[in-house]
Structure formats: C-alpha cells, structure tokens
Amino acid sequence: MSAADFSRGPTVVSAGPSNETSDKGNRIRHLGSFDAEAMEAWSPDQILTWAIGKYHPRLTLSASFGAPEGMVLLDMMHRIEPTSRVFVLDTGRLHQATHDLIDRVRDRYDKTIEVIFPDADAVQGLVREKGMNAFYESLELRKLCCRIRKVEPMRRHLEAFDAYVTGLRRDQNVTRVDTPKVELDVGNGGLVKINPIADWTHEQVMDYVGEHRVPTNRLHAEGYPSVGCAPCSRAIGPGDDPRAGRWWWESEDTKECGLHVPDEQQGGLGI
C-alpha cells in the first residue's frame, strides 16, 4: 500500500484476516487496525510508545548504522523499552567504520545487535557470473546486487516480526516525499511499517544527536552524510544534496536499494 493509498483511502487501516494474501502469496498477519491519518500528528515518542506497547517483542528497528536517523530511533526506543530490538544488514561490503559503530552501540546500550547476512550461495553466484563490481555497469545489475545483499535478507528476517521501524524522512530524497508515519508493508508480508520521524528535518535529527550524545558513524565527519556499502558511497562537497554520495553515477529518481520500494520488494527489479 502506497502513501497515496493512505492519503485518499479510509482513515482506519486494517491488516486484514490472517488468510488474506499479497501478490507474492505471503500471509498478511492479523495485526488489528490503526488510524494512519491521526498518527500523522503524533510525535516520534508517541508513535514509538504505541508501537512498542502493541508489538514488542515482535517489533524491530531496521538501522543501517550509516545514517544518524537510525541511531536516533535506537536511542528513543531504548529509553522506552531497554529490550527493544534492532537489526542491521551486513552486505559484505560495508565500511569498517560501520562495523566499528555496531560494536560501539552494542557496548553503549548493552544491546544485542542482530546482524543479518545475505545468502552466501546467492552472493557467490552473482560474483562468479557478473564480477565483483558489476553494480557500476547498469541500473539492472546494481539493483540485482542490492536485492541479493539487502532486500532478500531483510525479507527473510522480517518473517519473524509483526512490525518494524525505519528512519525514513520525507526530505531525504524525491522517492520519499510521500512517506507516511505508519503504513502497511505488503511487499514484506503485510507488516506494519513505522516511520516515526518522517516529518523531521536533518537539523532536528542532529539536534537530538547532540542533546543525547547519540553515537553515529565517524564517516559523517569526513563528508559522508549517508554511509552505505563502501563501493557505493563517497564523500560529498559543501552544498551537495545529502544523498549525492550514494550511487552517485545514477539519476536522483533511481537512488533506492529496493528496501523501501514496493515493486522491488515483491520480486523483480521494479524497472
């Protein structure tokens, strides 16, 4: 269900009965109803308190450890519920700085970080057939790499959950301007997808980081506002768009890995 569906559809959204299926045949869990429109006025703390009360421990935070948004949400969730859960996708191509941050966060919060890896056979097949850096060659191959290393592992991991939290913000990219605060993620089996800071600015995120001394990726101080895989991230210059360093060889309207693009979640590449 897209943001547009929420804006023009009924206010109260229901995940439906447990025998309802998506296009991929995934069972949509019976998760009750929520007032998506009313939640647009809720603060991040209100949304997270509701989500944790309703779904924990079958609620998790999806954090890349390469953007301050995920760290802010991890801190917020930990303050509400110290046993709140978080996972990170280790694609096999992450920066060392990202691995270092994972350990820093684990130690700071005394929290288990669930590190999720791609299927080794799928990665081996991709590299054997297409080469180590095929993602530079075409949009199709870049999205294939993202699908194998990120989309499919996340889908498998989320099968054990009823809801998950993301750090998506509407001003991050043209592909995210309609992000609702709460939605149904049909591409991942009908989970509730929660984006508590969708209406925050980057300045609000960094104000929270400073106020609460939230640990962040050290590459931010080296010109990387957004840190993904090492071959697909680079530092940017003053005045550049914050996501200009991600997949810099592509146009702005294709700069998504597929985790938050329904067409790509449901199979295929969305192209």
Q: Which of 145, 146, 229, 257 is catalytic?
A: 257
Q: Is 117 helix (H, G, I), strand (E, B) or coil?
A: coil
Residues constituting the chain: 271
Partners of residue 14 on adjacent β-strands: 33
Distance CA 54, CA 56 (A): 6
Q: How many CB atoms lie under 10 A from the CB of residue 91?
A: 23
Q: Tokens 């350990």 — which residue?
A: 103
Distance CA 74, CA 150 (A): 20
Active site residue 257: yes
Q: What does DSSP assign to residue 147?
A: I
Partners of residue 88 on adjacent β-strands: 115
- Measure CA of the first residue to CA of the last residue in the chain; give whole Å: 18
Q: Which residues are catalytic?
A: 257
